């Protein structure tokens, strides 16, 4: 039961971390794209194609950040599992043997 609660807590934490990063970096990517378009053309408001391209850049940046955080969370989970397994094995090996 403890393993299941730990997995649920980790999955929820990873989900919200990924969601926050995707929104934040997607907005930053779209904003920087619009800023770059304005600095290049000195026209505001931007054209529809510029807004579409800025949205695409934001989506791609959000996707890249989301996958990066997903991989980091997966690697962190494997490291935690490896550490727990190592500790359990050390505890079993160091335990005194019971003789009958």
pLDDT tens profile 2-18 = 667 777 888 899 999 99
H or E segment and range at residue 43 = none
- Tally of residues, the chain: 100
In DSSP notation, 27-41 reads HHHHHHHHHHHHHHH
Six token digits for residue 56: 């695409």
Q: Rounded to two decimals, what is the model's pTM?
A: 0.76
**pLDDT digits 0-9 by tens, 11-52:** 899 999 999 999 999 999 999 999 999 999 999 999 999 999
CA-wise closest residue to 33 among 57, 66, 49: 57
């Amino acid at each position: 039961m403890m393993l299941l609660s730990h997995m649920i807590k980790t999955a929820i934490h990873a989900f919200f971390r990924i969601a926050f990063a995707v929104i934040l970096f997607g907005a930053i990517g779209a904003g920087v794209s619009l800023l770059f378009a304005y600095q290049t053309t000195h026209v505001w408001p931007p054209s529809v194609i510029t807004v579409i391209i800025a949205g695409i850049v934001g989506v791609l940046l959000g996707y890249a950040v989301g996958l990066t955080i997903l991989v980091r969370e997966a690697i962190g989970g494997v490291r935690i599992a490896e550490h727990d397994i190592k500790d359990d094995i050390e505890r079993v090996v160091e335990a005194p043997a019971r003789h009958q």
